[in-house]
């Protein structure tokens, strides 16, 4: 092939390429992508935001200012509407957040502001009662009242306590006490039967039983009981604290006064039985 023919082919190729560069289907470098058929579709295909969309997303973030006090706020320049200005001391020693609502020349001294938040508003947003209600609304979160605290304050333990074992022991002791009560009642019944037999053989005296309640008797101290009759000479006086026979009992024949000494502090519901003859 001659050089002339080769030259003509190259010239034709250059011409074809130039025509293609001018065609509507071809993007020209000089147009900087302004000749795409749909900018929105192109952004979607590239998975990117537009400038306006990005500005909307970061609105306020890029225009936030932080100053020490109101004087420093008024000394700002280059402000725009919707700028945020955080002031550390709003004149009362507390922080505040302002929004620029109106500008003239962009200076802080000539701009107008709207206070959108301050420390007092934030602190008082929830009252103590509101916080309590919100906290206790959580699952497995319950009130612990003063009354319940007072009950727990009565418990004093210096070592680990097994409440199940304690309850079992109390149950067993209750059974033992009930058995002792039954035995004691049987003893009292037997004593009364014996006394009845003795009364049938001896008519010179009368046996009686008096019961005392509502007594506040300290343990290991002498306490006087006043009987309805004088104790007859020659006979013993028996005193039962509930079903427990007391040993420390003193009396004077012919007197209605009996002195007792109990081993435990009595309660108002406890009963003291005195069996004597007169």
Average pLDDT, integer, range 164-170:
84
pLDDT: is 68 or 128 the higher one? 68
Residue 3's Cβ-side half-sphere holds a number of Cα atoms within 13 Å equal to 0
Reply yes or no on whether the pLDDT at 251 is more than 90: yes
According to the model, what pLDDT value does residue 249 have? 94
According to the model, what pLDDT value does residue 9 have? 64
- Separation between Cα atoms, residue 115 and residue 95, nearest integer Å: 11
Average pLDDT, integer, range 240-254:
91
Q: Lowest-confidence range among 17-31, 168-182, 255-269?
A: 17-31
Tokens of 62: 């890029």
Find residue 272's DSSP bridge partners.
Answer: 212, 241
- Separation between Cα atoms, residue 266 and residue 262, nearest integer Å: 8
Per-domain boundaries in the chain: 3-48, 55-123, 167-277
Spatial contact of 224 and 194, defined as CB atoms under 8 Å apart: no
Using pLDDT thresholds of 50, 70 and 90, give the confidence band for residue 264. confident
Fold for the domain defined by 55-123: Ribosomal Protein L25; Chain P (2.40.240)
Digit-coded pLDDT (tens) for 78-137: 999 989 999 999 999 999 999 999 999 999 999 999 999 888 877 776 677 878 888 888
The residue count of the chain comes to 278
Backbone angles phi, psi at 208, to 5 degrees: -145, 165
pTM summary value: 0.30
Using pLDDT thresholds of 50, 70 and 90, give the confidence band for residue 161. confident
According to the model, what pLDDT value does residue 200 have? 66
According to the model, what pLDDT value does residue 61 have? 55
Average pLDDT, integer, range 165-189:
84
Find residue 208's DSSP bridge partners.
Answer: 276
Using pLDDT thresholds of 50, 70 and 90, give the confidence band for residue 231. very high
Spatial contact of 64 and 92, defined as CB atoms under 8 Å apart: no
Helix (H, G, I), strand (E, B) or coil at 112: strand
Average pLDDT, the chain: 84
Spatial contact of 273 and 210, defined as CB atoms under 8 Å apart: yes
pLDDT: is 252 or 172 the higher one? 252
* Cα separations in angstroms, 108 against 54, 58, 92, 118: 26, 22, 20, 19
Strands (E), the chain: 64-69, 84-89, 96-102, 112-118, 207-212, 222-226, 238-241, 244-245, 249-251, 257-261, 272-277
Using pLDDT thresholds of 50, 70 and 90, give the confidence band for residue 275. very high
According to the model, what pLDDT value does residue 209 have? 95
According to the model, what pLDDT value does residue 23 have? 59
% of the chain residues with pLDDT over 90: 33
Residue 190's Cβ-side half-sphere holds a number of Cα atoms within 13 Å equal to 6
Average pLDDT, integer, range 28-55:
78
Reply yes or no on whether the pLDDT at 51 is more than 80: no
């Amino acid at each position: 092939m001659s050089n002339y023919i080769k030259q003509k082919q190259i010239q034709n190729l250059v011409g074809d390429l130039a025509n293609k560069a001018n065609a509507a289907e071809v993007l020209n470098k000089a147009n900087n992508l302004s000749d795409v058929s749909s900018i929105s579709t192109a952004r979607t295909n590239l998975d990117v935001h537009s400038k306006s969309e990005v500005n909307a997303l970061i609105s306020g973030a890029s225009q936030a200012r932080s100053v020490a006090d109101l004087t420093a706020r008024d000394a700002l320049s280059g402000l725009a509407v919707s700028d945020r200005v955080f002031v550390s001391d709003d004149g009362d020693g507390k922080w505040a957040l302002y929004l620029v609502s109106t500008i003239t020349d962009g200076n802080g001294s000539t701009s107008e502001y709207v206070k959108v938040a301050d420390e007092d508003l934030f602190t008082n947003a929830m009252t103590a009662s509101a916080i309590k209600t919100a906290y206790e609304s959580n699952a497995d979160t319950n009130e612990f009242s003063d009354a319940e605290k007072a009950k727990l304050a009565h418990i004093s333990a210096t070592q680990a306590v097994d409440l199940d074992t304690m309850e079992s022991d109390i149950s067993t002791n209750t059974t033992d006490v009930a058995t002792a009560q039954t035995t004691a009642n049987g003893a009292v019944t037997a004593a009364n039967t014996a006394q009845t037999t003795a009364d049938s053989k001896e008519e010179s005296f009368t046996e009686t039983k008096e019961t005392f309640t509502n007594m506040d008797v300290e343990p290991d101290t002498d306490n006087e009981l006043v009987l309805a009759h004088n104790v007859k000479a020659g006979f013993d006086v028996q005193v039962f604290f509930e079903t427990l026979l007391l040993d420390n009992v003193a009396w004077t024949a012919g007197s209605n006064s009996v002195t007792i000494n109990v081993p435990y502090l009595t309660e108002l519901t406890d009963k003291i039985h005195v069996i004597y003859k007169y």
